[in-house]
Amino acid sequence: MAKAIKVNKELILSGNMYKAIMSIAVPVMINSFLQTMYNLTDTYWLGKLGTDELAAINLVTPMQNIVLNFGSGITVAGSVLIAQYLGARLVEEAKKMATQIFACAMIFAFSCMIIFGLSTPFIVKWLGATGDVYDYGKTYLQLVFLDMPFLFCINIYSSVHQAQGDAFRPMLLNFSGIVINMFLDPLLMVILGWGVAGAALATVFSKAVPAVVAFVLLKDSRREIHLDLKHLKFERDKMRAIVTVGLPTALGSSFMQVGFLLMTRNCLTYGNAAMAAYGIGNKINGLISLPANGMGSAVSTIVAQNVGAKQYDRAEKSYRLSCRMIVVFLAIGGYILSRRPICEALAGIFSDETEVIMMAADYLSILALFTFTNGVQTTTMGLFQGSGHTEVTMAMDVIRLWVFRFATLYVCEEILKLGVNSIWWSVVVSNALSPMLLYIIYRTGYWKRKRGKSD
């Protein structure tokens, strides 16, 4: 393993750039697919139970994502800072940072599990849920928060390894989880008849097993970067670096998820069928966007290591090549997937109700056609994350939702009177405007600037 990681680092810092990108991007794509399968498996089986169950999960998922995305600031900071230390050949500092990141993540995970587990009834009621949708949403959210420590343990493992250019082992770890989840979902939800509660418990159990494996591997002292209890005491310079890089990511992602939450409330006003269609469309679009996410992660890792090594030209080369590759791929793939028969077939996997399928197909046909814009978004975000300028990604997360999306939604609903289609178009327009602004900021060269003492 140590030899493989050494080869990956050499490839990132001095090897063939195309190979370096693909060696990280492909495993990350597969890993992201496996993560997405957790939710898609739940969605599939919940769709068989009924529209109320599916609508309840779609309603509360953004609340869960707000918490998870705030915590993602810790793991993003870990991946970037560890990679920059490795690029600068400061292995001992990278090891210290891994331990600091793990401690922060576990404190956050256990705190959120308790606080949000207790406040779930108030949250679901505030979202506007009533009747069965309220009961299902409350049950699911309370149970699924139990997986927070397990999830963050897995994420830290992935973060540490991806910083070293190794995305393959995290992929294998997540594969074990999805296999368990795919077995437990029908068992707990249908055979045992636990419904929504079964979906949540299946997710928790399927993350517990790989989390234990991840912790054991992180503690293995034979690995170059491992958890060391002697570094468990918080260090001021490390904490400052984590806050500097991680807090903007946490705030930006959380504000974005709050925006998603308000979008779901708005969507619910059009009925449970619209809510179910919105959730199906977003989940399938997330699957379509996996290649873009993989490229973004590859750019972040490669840029971080090369910035640590002061190789800015090589860092920029990785961004430009990744952006061109993914835009072409998504433009072709998105056009194919946007065809109406394909959209209806995909939506039909997750629902048996004609109204839901038709609305989801409307949404998907627009999303897929413009999905190439996600390629510019994720790779440019990766550039700014890798260089440590997460304040830019924070600003763009906020602007994309709170300015572009809600402004478009207002125009479509209040002026153009497009009804539920207003929601579909607000997503597409905001997803197109955001990468345009990001690219303009990239052209200024801001990503090359120093961050000051946190460097």
pLDDT in tens, 242-252: 788 777 877 77
Q: Which two tokens stand for residue 159?
A: 């973060």
Give the DSSP letter string of 288-301. HTHHHHHHHHHHHH
Residue 229 CB neighbours (<10 A): 9
pLDDT band at 453 (very low <50, low <70, confident <90, very high): very low
- Quick check: is 5 in a domain? no
Give the DSSP letter string of 117-167. HHHHHHHHHHTT--HHHHHHHHHHHHHHGGGHHHHHHHHHHHHHHHHTT--
Query: According to the model, what pLDDT value does residue 195 have?
Result: 80
Query: According to the model, what pLDDT value does residue 436 have?
Result: 94
Q: How far apart are CA 108 and CA 299, in angstroms?
A: 27
Across the chain, mean pLDDT equals 83
Residue 13 pLDDT more than 90? no
Query: According to the model, what pLDDT value does residue 408 have?
Result: 93
- Quick check: is 22 in a domain? yes
- Quick check: is 9 in a domain? no
- Quick check: is 209 in a domain? yes
Query: According to the model, what pLDDT value does residue 441 have?
Result: 95
Range of the domain at 69: 15-448
Among 33-42, 187-196, 319-328, 372-381, where is mean pLDDT lowest? 33-42
- Quick check: is 2 in a domain? no
How much is the pTM? 0.76
Give the DSSP letter string of 402-438. IIIIHHHHHIIIIIS--TTHHHHHHHHHHHHHHHHHH
- Counting the structural domains of the chain, the total is 1
Amino acid at 442: Y
- Quick check: is 228 in a domain? yes
- Quick check: is 410 in a domain? yes
By CB atoms closer than 10 A (0-12, 13-18, 19+), residue 292 is buried
168-185 helix and 148-163 helix, angle to the nearest 10 degrees: 150
Residue 5 pLDDT more than 70? no
- Quick check: is 124 in a domain? yes
The stretch 188-198 carries a mean pLDDT of 82
Among 44-48, 179-183, 352-356, 415-419, where is mean pLDDT lowest? 44-48
Among 270-279, 290-299, 300-309, 395-404, where is mean pLDDT lowest? 270-279
